[in-house]
Amino acid sequence: MVTVEAAIAVCALLVVMGFAAAGLTAVIEQMRCTDAAREAARLTARGEQQRGEDAVGQILPGAGVAFRDEGDAVRVVVTKRGPLGVPLSAEAFAVVEPR
């Protein structure tokens, strides 16, 4: 026979495990966000901004991407909502390659 205390403990354990899974997912999504920003900055520095946008879409579907030209360099910011609505973002910087 299961007591009320045991039922509450099982529910609490499930909630904690759910939050732990969401936290792990957020960490993985943040790493993918960083990878997408780095790849987009590299491609944009080579003069292939459209391919950079496509790469972000492939690496991190549903992410937003913003490009800023800073003279002879480019800065890329990738943003996305993670699990439980946690805002994720990553920024990458690359020097434009001479043509």
Q: What is the pLDDT of residues 4-38, one digit of tens each?
A: 888 899 999 999 999 999 999 999 999 999 999 99
The answer on pLDDT for 2 being more than 80 is no
Identity of the residue numbered 42: R
pLDDT value for 99: 73
The residue ranges of every structural domain in the chain are 26-95
- Given a contact cutoff of 8 angstroms between Cβ atoms, the answer to whether 51 and 43 are in contact is yes
The answer on pLDDT for 82 being more than 70 is yes
Q: How confident is the model at residue 63 (pLDDT cuts 50, 70, 90)?
A: very high
